[in-house]
Structure formats: C-alpha cells, structure tokens
Amino acid sequence: MISLAGRDIMHAWGKFVFTGVGLGLLIGVTLTMAGVYRGMVDDAKVLLDNSGADLWVVQKDTLGPYAESSSIYDDTWRGIRGMPGVVRAANVTYLTMQVHHGERDVRAMVTGVTVGEAGTPGWPPYLVAGRQMTRGHYEAVADMATGFKPGDRIQIRRNQYTVVGLTRRMVSSSGDPMVFIPLKDAQEAQFLKDNDAIHQQRRRTGENPAFNRPGVPGVLDAVIASQATNPSVNAVLVQIDPNHDPAQIAESIRRWKRLTVYTRSQMEDILVGKLIATSSRQIGMFLVILAIVSAAIVAFIIYTLTLGKIREIAVLKLIGTKNRTIAGLIMQQAIALGLIGFVVGKIAATIWAPIFPKYVLLEPQDAVSGFLAVVVICILSSVIAIRAALKVDPAEAIGG
C-alpha cells in the first residue's frame, strides 16, 4: 500500500514546508524559552562552581550573599580558617552595578576577592587572557562578556582600574558578567560616598557635641576615621578538606560562630528554588502558552488541509478506504508538519541562541522532550480534523 500522506505532502510540498517553517519558528521560540531557563539555572550553578567554595558563611538568618544582602565582619574568616577540616577561607563581596568604560556603561557584578594566590575561594578559576591580580589595589579581572580587553581602563565609583586579565562564564545568577577587583577596593566601593556627602557627614559629626568634646580632640578624629572605613564583607567562602564532612563543619560554624552557613546543595536550592523561581514560573507559563498556541496552529492547519480534501475523502470512503487509512493520512501529515517544524525550530534556536544577551543553554534532553511534545501535540491536534474526515458521508461523492 502506498503512503497517501507522503504522496499528498510531496504533491503540495511547498505549502507544507512553508507552514512547517512558520510552525518551526514558534517551536524555536519555545525551545529558546526552555534554553533561557536552563541558562539561568546553569548561570546559578556556574556561579557556585566558579566560586571554588564548599561552604558559604553569611550573616545570621539571611539567605545571602546572592539571594539576600548579608554583612559580616571582615575578620570572621580568621576564626573559621582555624577550625578543623577547613583548608581555605576567604572574604568576598558582591555588588551589582554599572561599570564605566569610556563612554560605555556595562552592568556587571563587581566581586571583591582577597588578593592572594590562585585557587583562593572567590577567584576566577581560569583566565583566557592576561594574568590574575597581583596588586592590592586598582587591578581587575573581567568576564569576556563585559567586552573589556586586557589593558582597558575601567571606572568603578570614583576609582580607575586596569583590566589585567579576562575570564569566561563567570556570571551572576541573573547573567550579569563579573568583574573581580581587590577586596579592599570592593569594600570601599560598596560604601564610598561622593565628596559632598563626605563633607556633609564630617560637618554633622563635628557639630555633634557627643563626638566633638572640648579638650578631647582625638574622639572626633576616631569617629570620622571609623565612618570612612568599611569592615564588612558579604560572605566568607570556605574550602574544606575532602576527607571531612561539609555538613559537620557547617554545623560547627553555626554553633560556635553564630552565623548562617550553607553547603553547596543548600546554596543551589536557594539560587534555583528561590532566586530564579519566579522567573522559571514565568518561563513555564510562556512554555504552556506557546504549546497551546502551537497546538492551535497545527490543529487549524491540519483541519484546513482536511477540509480542502473533503471531496477526495468522500471518494476514498466510497471506494472502500478504511477509516483507519484516512485517519492515518491526516495524522501522518500532522506529524510530518510537526517534524518539519521541529527541525526548523531546532536549527533556528541553535542559530539565534548565541545572539541573546543572556546565556541560552539548549540541552539535548530538552530537545528530546520538545520533540516528543511536538509529536504528542500534533497527534492531539489532528483529532479534530480526523473527526471531521470520518464524518464525511461517502454519498457526497455521488451528489444529488
């Protein structure tokens, strides 16, 4: 028996291909939406992977440092470093802001890291150009996505930094590229006020009789000095010995340091389950709507194609074609349309994904799920057309 669906498609291949391309672009958008979500999750995981930490020590009862603000004293790390099983502990600050480069502004997550040796928690794990920071001030390592190049001068707050190295895939959980600068500079950047504000603050402090006591001039200087420095960091990143249990060390830090500690899996839950949960629900809604729209389009197209063949279907039924054969003709066409659409959509998504400003991760299992969903949607969408075809009276071929 010949394939009626195949012959019909080959006979009107232009119509099928153009319809498939239209459907494919819609499927491409759907795959891209899934890729955007995967990209967000991957960004979150990359952020955790690249931090090089096993534990995140943050302000008590906060979800910091990524999902909530967290502030702890910058000498906390010393006590943690001395605990059994801890290999390394380093301060880190995170601040999302606009970084100026010439006439251009780049939104970036400025990360303050302890200057030391490579492998220190918080450091970019690898470079693609240049070198790591070696000075305690005014050097920066930037993610390639910032568009900076080694030797570029960038401005963060009032200070100028020289980009000495480039790294890649170092992004915040919201996809902003990272710029690493020395910790002290980052602490200053978080709290640095403009000159007018500093002047106003000094004047107010000087006019306060509690700080500016007659005969005790050292108090005012001490207070002003304390206001000009920032002893806080957002978190302490901790690397532990592989032979120790991270959960046990985390429990010790919680108990003895009275701080909140998250393990890698807990931090991943926070990032994926809380920080990007709303975005993922939003994308989920888009996926549902796009699936419904795709189904409606396939159903409409197949229904229209079937209505255009009513007379032929009546003749086929009159000459003894089984309902199963006619249903198969319609369903195979719907699936063929879906296949064309899926191939076009996959190619389109692969082509345009790198152009998106945020990372779009097209996972093979999403493509497989998408393919199965397209097949199921096409089969379901053909049901209306099949019902219409099976209702065709063979007597219509005779007329009268």
Partner 1 sequence: MNGKGIRLEGLKKRYGSGDTAVDALKNVDMHVAPGEVVGLIGPSGSGKSTLLKCLGAVIEPTAGRMILGDEVIYENGWRVKDLRALRRDRIGFIFQAPYLIPFLDVTDNVALLPMLAGRPNGVARARALELLQALDVGHRAKAMPSQLSGGEQQRVAIARGLVNRPPVILADEPTAPLDSERALAVIRILNDMARKLETAIIVVTHDEKIIPTFKRIYHIRDGVTYEEAGEGRGLD
Applying CB under 8 A, which residues contact partner 1?
1-2, 4, 7-8, 10-12, 311-312, 315-316, 318-322, 325, 393-395, 397-400
Considering beta carbons, is residue 12 or 83 the nearer one to partner 1? 12
Considering beta carbons, is residue 281 or 322 the nearer one to partner 1? 322
Instruction: Provide, rounded to whole angstroms, the least separation between the CB of residue 316 and partner 1.
Output: 7
Long-range contacts of 151-157 (CB under 8 A, 24+ apart): 152/101, 153/101, 154/99, 154/100, 154/101, 154/179, 155/99, 155/100, 155/101, 156/97, 156/99, 156/100, 156/110, 156/181, 156/185, 156/189, 157/188, 157/189, 157/192
Considering beta carbons, is residue 79 or 394 the nearer one to partner 1? 394
Q: Which residues contact 250 (CB under 8 A, 6 or more apart)?
A: 55, 261, 262, 263
Considering beta carbons, is residue 16 or 77 the nearer one to partner 1? 16
Instruction: Provide, rounded to whole angstroms, the least separation between the CB of residue 334 and partner 1.
Output: 16
Instruction: Provide, rounded to whole angstroms, the least separation between the CB of residue 12 and partner 1.
Output: 7
Instruction: Provide, rounded to whole angstroms, the least separation between the CB of residue 29 and partner 1.
Output: 31
Considering beta carbons, is residue 210 or 319 the nearer one to partner 1? 319
Q: How far apart are CA 261 and CA 56, in angstroms?
A: 6
* SS3 labels along 224-236: HHHHHCCCEECEE
Q: How far apart are CA 40 and CA 361, in angstroms?
A: 8
Instruction: Provide, rounded to whole angstroms, the least separation between the CB of residue 300 and partner 1.
Output: 21
Instruction: Using the CB atoms, write b or e for 335-367: b if 16+ within 10 Å.
Output: bbbbbbbbebbbebbbeebeeeeebbbbbeebb
Considering beta carbons, is residue 92 or 329 the nearer one to partner 1? 329
Instruction: Provide, rounded to whole angstroms, the least separation between the CB of residue 336 and partner 1.
Output: 13
Instruction: Provide, rounded to whole angstroms, the least separation between the CB of residue 9 and partner 1.
Output: 8
Considering beta carbons, is residue 258 or 324 the nearer one to partner 1? 324
Q: Specify burial of residue 17 (Cβ count, 10 A radius: 0-12, 13-18, 19+).
A: middle
